[in-house]
Structure 1
Amino acid sequence: MAVMTAQEARTEAPDPTRVAELAALHALVAAVEHAQQNELVDEFLDLFREDAIWTTGHGKRLFGRDAIAEFTAQVLPGSSTLGTTTYELEHVLFIRPDVAAVKVRQRFFTADGMPESEGSPMYVVAKEAGRWLLTANQNTPVLST
């Protein structure tokens, strides 16, 4: 892939395939947010590959959808009583056309809507059968200094 200057990027027509893939990745992050905010365990689990890796914000390492399911079934139901979490796609690095690293801004708000903390997840996603799936994922808290 050739590198282009900022001026060339502004004048060149956007690649429709890349635009569609970015839209699909935004939709994936929105689906994570929706499932989390609405405590939808099955909907959340459907976003993962069967052999996915998930590391929680507290460092718990989960290998495979079964382990992710067991953990999620314990922590997701009732979590909205503590507050809500928003997810914003910040950056995408396409490693290959079917593999991308997705950087997310995660913000936690108390039940009364006050900002509490932030996270900085990294999702490595793979496209399978036309669908992007969470594959190797790390939640990282942002420590305030």
Structure 2
Amino acid sequence: MPRMRPIPAIGQARGVSSPDARDVSAVLAFVARVEETQWLRDVDGFVSLLAPQAVWTTAFGRQIVGAPAIHAFTAAVLPNLFRDFQALYDVERITFLHADVVAVNVRQIPVDAEGNRRPGEDEGRPLYILRRHDGAWRIVVAQNTTHQNEKIAAQQRAVDEATSGETHAHE
């Protein structure tokens, strides 16, 4: 039975017409395909989702340029280093930047082979920039960021402290 996925927020840049429901469905299906290729350790299937000139930045900050280089990297890590890692991909937001360009924010949830949340592992927060070419969406830029709860909370406390002084100074 397919799992229920959350409904993502949909946005659009100024001047971009409202997205068509078919485009939203196609983007959701695209991200589901990314998830599937990762689960299957399908390097060729994954790389087929990239534009030839794609730029990929890993969660650790390594930048890889071009589908051939991304293929070589993925072939080395996906079936070997990440063989025990699985993740569910939930699209949180789709922003249409142009009729043929979208930004897709994804929540990447680490799970075991049965789909149960893996405690103690950080989630990922990939951002994919997709471009439609000849009717098919392809990743042109991807940035995966590790979601670090403690550092985010510390950052927010610092922001709150910095802005609370500003509020009092203007009263």
Give TM-score, length-normalised by structure 2.
0.71
Question: Which has the larger Rg?
Answer: 2
RMSD: 1.7
Partner in structure 2 of residue 36 of structure 1: 38
1:36-95 deviation line (CA, Å, top 9, x unaligned)? 011000000000000000001111100000110010000011456423111111101101
Mark the runs of 5 or more structure 2 residues left unpaired by the alignment.
1-17, 151-171
d(CA) in 1 for partners of 2:103 and 2:83?
31
Partner in structure 1 of residue 144 of structure 2: 139
Residues 39 and 79, structure 1, Cα contact 8 Å, conserved in 2:
no
4+ residue runs over 4 A deviation? none
Moved more, 27-36 or 70-79: 70-79
Give the counterpart of 1:129 among 111, 130, 134: 134
Moved more, 119-128 or 77-86: 77-86
SS of 2:149's equivalent in the other structure is coil
What amino acid does structure 2 have at the position aligned with 1:119?
G
Higher strand share: 1
Partner in structure 1 of residue 47 of structure 2: 45
Residues 119 and 140, structure 1, Cα contact 8 Å, conserved in 2:
yes
State the 1:117 CA deviation: 1.9
Give the counterpart of 1:24 among 7, 23, 26: 26
State the 1:111 CA deviation: 5.5
d(CA) in 2 for partners of 1:27 and 1:85?
16
State the 1:108 CA deviation: 1.1
Residues 55 and 62, structure 1, Cα contact 8 Å, conserved in 2:
yes
Over 3 Å counting, the alpha-carbon distance change for 1:81 and 1:48 in structure 2 is: closer
State the 1:144 CA deviation: 2.2
Give TM-score, length-normalised by structure 1.
0.84
State the 1:109 CA deviation: 2.2
Partner in structure 2 of residue 120 of structure 1: 125
d(CA) in 2 for partners of 1:28 and 1:128?
14
| Percent sequence identity over aligned pairs | 36
Residues 109 and 117, structure 1, Cα contact 8 Å, conserved in 2:
no
d(CA) in 1 for partners of 2:82 and 2:71?
18
